[in-house]
Copies of this chain bind each other. A is one copy, B any other.
Amino acid sequence: MRRILLASATLAAPFLLAAPAQADEGMWTFDAFPAATMKKDYGWAPDQKWLDRVRASAVRLTGGCSASFVSPDGLILTNHHCVVECAQNLSTQQADLVANGFIAARREEERKCPGQQAEVVTAITDVTADVKGAIGALAGEALVKARDAKIAEIEKAGCKDTATTRCQVVTLFGGGQYKLYTYRKYSDVRLVWAPEFQAAFFGGDPDNFNYPRYALDASFLRAYENGKPVKVAAFLKWSPRAPQPGEATFVVGNPGSTQRLFTSDQLAFQRAVSLPLNNRVLSELRGRLLSAMEQSAERKREGGDTLFGIENTLKVFIGREQALNDPAFVKVLADNEAALKAKAAGNAAIGNPWGDVAKAVGAYRDLYLPYRFIHPMSDLYDYAQSLVRAADERAKPNAERLPGFTDSQLPLLEKEVLDERPIYPWLEQLKLEWSLSKAREALGADDAQTRLMLGRESPEGLAARLVGGTTLADPAVRKALWQGGKAAIDASTDPLIAYARQLDARDRELQKQVDERYQGPLAAAGAKLADARFAAYGDSVYPDATFTLRISYGKVAGWKERGQDVAPVTTMGGAFARATGADPFVLAKAFVANEAKIDKSTPYDFVTTNDIIGGNSGSPVVDKDGAVIGAAFDGNIHSLGGNYGYQPDVNRTVVVSTAAVQQALERIYPASELVRELSGK
């Protein structure tokens, strides 16, 4: 799920911002923290040593989350919703780690999360000249290919040891800058502590992206290497104290994607085409899954993580659609664009990138539906496609491969394909039925691509045949196909491998067209827009989010909602007051059982003005002393428009306090060893 949903966000290349950052706005790179501005506003700003230590403590989780080291023994703080897929994968009908939570009493009981990898930035190198040099005056698909080849080369040269390091070139400012991020990576990550789902997600989907909140959305992982906990050089001091209204806070993490300088044509495409479509089809999937899960307790358990992902994405997309349909909000964006255009007017070197983007978006309108629907949603299909493509791509020179299959990217892909984790056939079939029927609906029953995808079968019949016949759920089968390469793939009679082979040529052809008519032109125009931006606003700007490490500063503060003050901090007692006894406002069992022990005045969740977005989940919230006082787990409803622009008056980050986690570790889900470790004793 997560992969697909992030994919739809990353289709859109990031662009630079329209106007200089204002009041707490900004997801800053660590090499460009605006210390002077912060000092002016707050009377204080961190120094380089502070920044370096915090940066070295920050962890990226490849599942799509952020985190931080909080002990010298590789202990990692993140959100519960960042480990729920792991807990789900480790669960059985007998032992439900999602519903009941998980506490490893000893390190030996800590359990490996399938597919999970933790990464820490160790170096950032500017490679803009190299990549721009390789692009030269190329255009369209040729530009994309030259750029990707150079990136593959730089990444390979940068990380000789792919077992412990990972190199990734990041496009910033939509092509204005390229930077090589080098990571120390830990591919053995284990689950240490997780509360009950009902404690972590109290209020469920209705409360998601809302506030006040009463959610214990926190968990602990641990990084391992060679079977042992890793010793880390830097970690954040654990400070389970109450957040103070008005105090400065930093959020350090990996915001996934923002689109704050999309041109008006790109925004119009989202408003008029992609968001309405995706909100409809995801809503239908949500409905299909909700009904299917009602059939048995087992299905309810097995589908839980997928349902959460769908509902979360849907809420994000609905928030975006509403922001783009809000005339006042859109006017600010349009004014920003007009101001930048005015400043760039007459600069021949910049030309008219807005017009180039408009043309590219026009071309993309024609390509969007087939491109959107060529890839059916199914974990098993993902395996099949990865195996089929890896067999082809690995036979090519590094620089000629598709981006996900270069030498620097292959180790993570291999881990994701080969790690053992449960597959639920009913869920695979449901997702396939849905994606195939939505593809037919969008393209039409008589479309050539529909015929390629369905032949003479129905979505239901085809899905049943593929899921019923494949053996790809078995990791040993996947391993044999991965290692067997092209010969093994060609010889395979697995129906899903055959199906992935059947779609592959069309999929590649669509990518080629998208690169030629959309991504290539966007990359060229993006570089021009970045030039215009730098010329107009200098270094007062930050790049759009790219799921790379950023730091945001702000403060603990509520806001005014329809004239009413929203207090910034809730207490654990509030959860008891809010509980109705009906799902999803049922108290977790351990809360009920331990009510007498719980200090109800303990701060629970709180809000800050920090500027974050999806991908920041699990980010440590750090105080001036560099200690962690919470983990960001959500934004308020106004933060959803933050994809396009930050609204200082109302955009808020929602945080679970370390004070509440400490209370839970001591009295609700007791973990004395963890308490000791966090206290540094």
Task: Enumerate chain A interface residues (CB-CB to B < 8 A).
Answer: 203, 205-207, 210, 271-273, 276, 279-281, 283-292, 294-295, 318, 321, 325, 430, 434, 440-441, 444-445, 454, 456-458, 460-461, 580-585
* A-B contacts, 27 listed (Cβ < 8 Å): A206-B440, A206-B441, A206-B445, A207-B445, A273-B325, A276-B321, A276-B325, A279-B279, A280-B280, A280-B318, A284-B284, A284-B286, A284-B290, A287-B287, A287-B288, A287-B290, A288-B290, A288-B291, A291-B291, A292-B294, A445-B585, A454-B582, A456-B580, A456-B581, A456-B582, A457-B580, A458-B583
- Interchain CB contact (< 8 A) of A283 among B271, B284, B291, B580: B284
Quote the shortest CB–CB distance from A369 to chain B (angstroms): 12
CA distance A345 to B457 in the complex (A): 60
Q: Which residues of B contact A291 (CB under 8 A)?
A: 287-292, 430
Q: Which residues of B contact A440 (CB under 8 A)?
A: 206
**Chain A facing B: main interface SS:** helix
Give A325's nearest chain B residue, CB to CB: B272
CA distance A580 to B446 in the complex (A): 12
CA distance A289 to B283 in the complex (A): 12
Q: Which residues of B contact A434 (CB under 8 A)?
A: 287
CA distance A585 to B285 in the complex (A): 23
Quote the shortest CB–CB distance from A114 to chain B (angstroms): 27
**Is A287 in contact with B276, judged by CB distance below 8 angstroms?**
no
Give A440's nearest chain B residue, CB to CB: B206
Quote the shortest CB–CB distance from A307 to chain B (angstroms): 12
Q: Which residues of B contact A458 (CB under 8 A)?
A: 582-585
Q: Which residues of B contact A583 (CB under 8 A)?
A: 458, 460-461
Give A446's nearest chain B residue, CB to CB: B210
CA distance A294 to B441 in the complex (A): 20
CA distance A279 to B607 in the complex (A): 33
Q: Which residues of B contact A281 (CB under 8 A)?
A: 283
CA distance A585 to B461 in the complex (A): 13
Give A321's nearest chain B residue, CB to CB: B276
- Additional A-B contact list (17), CB under 8 Å, known A287-B290, A290-B291, A461-B582: A206-B440, A206-B445, A210-B444, A210-B445, A271-B325, A276-B321, A279-B279, A279-B280, A283-B287, A284-B287, A285-B287, A288-B288, A288-B291, A289-B291, A292-B294, A456-B581, A458-B582
Q: Which residues of B contact A321 (CB under 8 A)?
A: 276
CA distance A461 to B586 in the complex (A): 13
Quote the shortest CB–CB distance from A144 to chain B (angstroms): 28
CA distance A289 to B295 in the complex (A): 13
Q: Which residues of B contact A280 (CB under 8 A)?
A: 279-280, 283, 318
Quote the shortest CB–CB distance from A194 to chain B (angstroms): 24
CA distance A210 to B276 in the complex (A): 21
Q: Which residues of B contact A290 (CB under 8 A)?
A: 284, 287-288, 291
Q: Which residues of B contact A276 (CB under 8 A)?
A: 276, 279, 321, 325
CA distance A180 to B581 in the complex (A): 54
